Amino acid sequence: MTISAIERSPQRYARLAGVMYLAIILLGMFGELYVRASFIVPGDASATALAIAASPLLWRAGIVGDLLMHVLDVPVILILYVLLKPVNKSLALLATLVNLVQTAVLALNKLTLLVPLFLLGDGVYLKAFSAEQLHALSLLAIEAHAHGFGIGLIFFGVACLVRGVLIWQSGFWPKALGALIFFAGLSYLVNSFALLLAPSLAAAIVPGVLVPAFVGELAFSLWLIFKGVDTARWRQRVGS
């Protein structure tokens, strides 16, 4: 996949981006809503630790799914950059850079999800800690992951804001999609800053505050899959 290849076949790559985007959404739901939601018992370190110790393979599958999601991020980011570049190259590049920062932050953040597996293993060095301490440290690592996730989404929120504006201005995608992606970005920013500045507020507004983000990203991915891009208008933009 190269920039010139995308420029030669924008429709093909727009649909490919849609398929990968939808896969990213599904993998994210698998890791967050299925795997981690089934293990984590809020406020109960021991119950959470025992659940992970009982099914470590599923916990690892959630981590692998997340990493695959971040791998798919890269080609999607490249394709969207090429498709949006004719609208405003500087803004398209800005969205690309902050999106790549988000991907790097979230990929590195997965190390925190490996920590519980280390702490709940059978290493001799772990005998220096009591079971309660190991369980508490495991939950602490999981909490750190949640906050690292929130930090990463600040960068993604900015990327969505910029892409929302570009999509709105493009002429080759509906303005409604631009509005949906823009409000998705706002949702991510509200969620992340609430998590960092007012955790009690974040607990009250999640998951409701993320509904616009889910709707916007799902709508965009499905549009890319079934409609792609208006090639004639896109080429008109390229030539302008």
Q: What confidence tens digit (pLDDT) does each residue in 172-183 have? A: 999 999 999 999
Q: What is the pLDDT of residue 172?
A: 95
Residue with tokens 């800690």: 129
Phi-psi category of 131—alpha, beta or left, where left has phi over 0 and alpha has psi -120 to 50? Answer: alpha
Q: What is the pLDDT of residue 43?
A: 87
**What's the CA gap between 200 and 82, in Å, rounded?**
40
The model carries a pTM of 0.93
Cis peptide before 207 (omega within 30 of 0): yes
Q: What is the pLDDT of residue 54?
A: 94
Q: What is the pLDDT of residue 8?
A: 87
CA-nearest of 188, 178, 179, 222 to 84 is 178
Q: What is the pLDDT of residue 80?
A: 98
Q: What is the pLDDT of residue 73?
A: 97
Q: What is the pLDDT of residue 88?
A: 96
Q: What's the distance, CA 230 to chain centroid?
A: 26
> Pseudo-torsion of CA 64, 65, 69, 70, nearest 10°?
-20
User: 186: which residues sit within 8 A by CB, 6+ positions away?
Assistant: 157, 161, 212
pLDDT tens for each residue of 185-202:
999 999 999 999 999 888
Q: What is the pLDDT of residue 209?
A: 86
What are the sequence ranges of the domains in the chain?
Answer: 8-239
8 Å CB contact between 76 and 20:
yes
**pLDDT in 10s for each residue of the chain, 240 residues:** 787 888 889 999 999 999 999 999 999 999 999 999 999 998 899 999 999 999 999 999 999 999 999 999 999 999 999 999 999 999 999 999 999 999 999 999 999 999 999 999 888 889 999 999 999 999 999 999 999 999 999 999 999 999 999 999 999 999 999 999 999 999 999 999 999 999 988 888 888 889 999 999 999 999 999 999 999 999 999 886
The alpha-helical segments, DSSP class H, found in the chain are 3-8, 10-29, 37-39, 45-54, 56-84, 89-109, 111-119, 131-170, 175-197, 199-205, 211-226, 231-239
**What's the CA gap between 191 and 187, in Å, rounded?**
6
User: 97: which residues sit within 8 A by CB, 6+ positions away?
Assistant: none
8 Å CB contact between 156 and 99:
yes
